[in-house]
Amino acid sequence: MADISFVRTEMLPEKTPPATSVGLIGWMRENLFSGWFNSILTVVSLGFIYYVLAGVLPWMFQSSWTANSLSQCREAISAAHGEGASGACWAVVRERYLQLIYGFYPDHLYWRPNIAFLLTLAALAPILFSALPRKMLWLAVVAPFAVPWLLWGGSAWLPLSAALGFVLGYGAFRGVSQLNGSLAAIIAGVAAPVLWWMLLAGPFAALVQSILPVGIEPVESRAFGGFMLSITIGVVAIVCSLPIGIVLALGRQSNLLIVRTLCIGFIEFVRGVPLITLLFVASTLLNIFMPPGTNFDIILRVMIMVTLFASAYMAEVIRGGLAALPKGQYEAADSLGLDYWKAQRLIIMPQALKISIPGIVSTFIGVFKDTTLVSIIGLLDPLGLSNAIRADANWNGIVWELYGFIALMFFIFCFSMSRYSMFLERKLQTGHR
């Protein structure tokens, strides 16, 4: 009798998976056509993409870069692409991009905002990327004095004498702390520079300037405009709002009733009103609140208001981070015997700030976007300039090209900020999952 039982003794070679489940086809089956509903969605989406691209791409590329007015643009486009062809008139961007970037800043001085911008970047870089050499942090010390001087110009002694205030404060702090207790030292360290700035810094700078004039051509705030203005306001508000926001958040969390009430009142008030009303305050009311006769610069006033606005939002973001921290962290800090500020500096803040990074960065992005509102009170930011350009007889009626260019610039800035925040979150990720 024949033995019909069969036992396989060797492995069969693996078969390749069916062609419909791997590679491009498999991916498409899984991600685009996994069911009738998904297939319909895919087809509709493809139709939508085609519709948008068919509308936008020809318009973008049937364009004119060389014309000097809108009518010339239209003639050039009709000549090149046939009668009735509509295309973008990028020539307006070519002609006006300098204005959109620098506003009415004198064109022989463009190097100054350029250097100021690079200096700001270089000063921020070591803070943003820890891989860079620590020596670059000195730039962050220099930049707050050098950048305003580069932008507004004038005597070089003014920023130097402002910086001297900090040196004086530090000196007073060190000197008094050796003689007397730490509290007196802190008071001296605060009072000395404040007195210096309020009373002596200006005359001192003027005196030195009259002896040894060093300076560059001053530029009025009125000449500021375009992205330079947006970036200036944005960077100042961003840099100043973080520390103020931290202080406000701590104040709001504090046990001291009056301090807490003041902080809550400030935060809720600022968050409850639109930024535009604060800008109205800057443009019409701030001079009324100041001693009679004071008249300080509109851009400075706007910066103050935007900074206050941003700090209230920042305070709420950081408060979220503080609240998300487990109570054990606070108690551990106490049980180690750390005092309030040491506990905040060494234990609470590093963790709370890390938790609130996404919120902090989205506040930054929001502030930078909100700088466009200054166009409503008459400053010439990119949007304000776009109205001015459209009022020009040559470019009357141009819309999409200008708005598109401005939107693209804002997109680049804001998008890179949000990507940076994701990078930072990944880098600081210490959790174990």
Partner 1 sequence: MTTFTDPHKESFRLSMLIYDTRYRSMTIQVVAMFGFMLMAAWLINNTIQNLNALGKPIDFGFFSEPASYDINQRLIEYNSRDSHLRASFVGLLNTLMVAAMGCALATVLGVVIGVLRLSGNWLVARIMTVYVETFRNVPVLLWIVFFMAMLIETLPAPNAFRGENATASMWLGDSVAVTNRGLYVPEPLFSRSLGDVSFFGAFNISLDLIAIVAVLAGGLYVSHRIKVRADRVQEATGIRPTTWYQRLGVVAVPVIVLLAGLGFHLGFPALKGFNFQGGIYMRNSLLALWLALSLYTAAFIAEIVRAGILAISRGQTEAAAALGLRPNRIMNLVILPQALRVIIPPLISQYLNLTKNSSLAIAVGYMDITGTLGGITMNQTGRELECVLLLMLVYLTISLSISLVMNWYNERVKLVER
- Binding residues (CB under 8 A) for partner 1: these are 31-32, 34, 38, 41-42, 45-46, 48-49, 183, 255-259, 262, 268-269, 271-277, 280-281, 284-285, 287-292, 365, 369-370, 372-373, 375-376, 383, 399-400, 403, 406-407, 410-411, 414-415, 418
Question: Running DSSP on this structure, what letter comes out for residue 291?
Answer: P
How many residues are given for the chain? 433
- Compare residues 42 and 329 and give the one whose CB is closer to partner 1: 42
Q: Give the distance, in angstroms, between the CA of residue 396 and the centroid of all CA atoms in the same chain.
A: 32
- Compare residues 95 and 370 and give the one whose CB is closer to partner 1: 370
Q: Which amino acid is it at 152?
A: W
Give the shortest CB-183-to-partner 1 separation in angstroms.
6
Give the shortest CB-408-to-partner 1 separation in angstroms.
9
Q: How far apart are the first and last CA of the chain?
A: 63
- Compare residues 291 and 431 and give the one whose CB is closer to partner 1: 291
Quickly list DSSP for 26-73: HHHHHHT-SSHHHHHHHHHHHHHHHHHHHHHHHHHHS--SS-SSHHHH
Give the shortest CB-257-to-partner 1 separation in angstroms.
7
Number of Cβ atoms within 10 Å of the Cβ of 231: 19
Q: Which residues contact 102 (CB under 8 A, 6 or more apart)?
A: 110, 113, 225, 226, 228
Give the shortest CB-46-to-partner 1 separation in angstroms.
7
Give the shortest CB-171-to-partner 1 separation in angstroms.
23
- Compare residues 112 and 319 and give the one whose CB is closer to partner 1: 319
Give the shortest CB-432-to-partner 1 separation in angstroms.
17
Instruction: Determine contact, residues 21/29, Cβ cutoff 8 Å.
Output: yes
Give the shortest CB-335-to-partner 1 separation in angstroms.
16
Scored b (16 or more CB within 10 A) or e, 176-206 reads bbeeeeeeebeebbeebbeebbeeebeebbe
Lookup: tokens for 56? 């936008």
- Compare residues 21 and 31 and give the one whose CB is closer to partner 1: 31
- Compare residues 221 and 287 and give the one whose CB is closer to partner 1: 287
Number of Cβ atoms within 10 Å of the Cβ of 59: 16
Instruction: Give the CA angle between residues 147, 167, 111 to the nearest 5°.
Output: 15
Closest CA to 102 of 236, 234, 229, 233: 229
Closest CA to 29 of 37, 17, 21: 21
Question: Running DSSP on this structure, what letter comes out for residue 65?
Answer: S
- Compare residues 171 and 404 and give the one whose CB is closer to partner 1: 404
Give the shortest CB-45-to-partner 1 separation in angstroms.
5
As a whole number of angstroms, the distance between CA 250 and CA 412 comes to: 34
Number of Cβ atoms within 10 Å of the Cβ of 431: 5
Residue with structure tokens 């009679």?
292
Number of Cβ atoms within 10 Å of the Cβ of 135: 8
Give the shortest CB-188-to-partner 1 separation in angstroms.
15
- Compare residues 61 and 400 and give the one whose CB is closer to partner 1: 400
- Compare residues 186 and 200 and give the one whose CB is closer to partner 1: 186
- Compare residues 28 and 137 and give the one whose CB is closer to partner 1: 28
Q: Which amino acid is it at 378?
A: G
Give the shortest CB-294-to-partner 1 separation in angstroms.
9
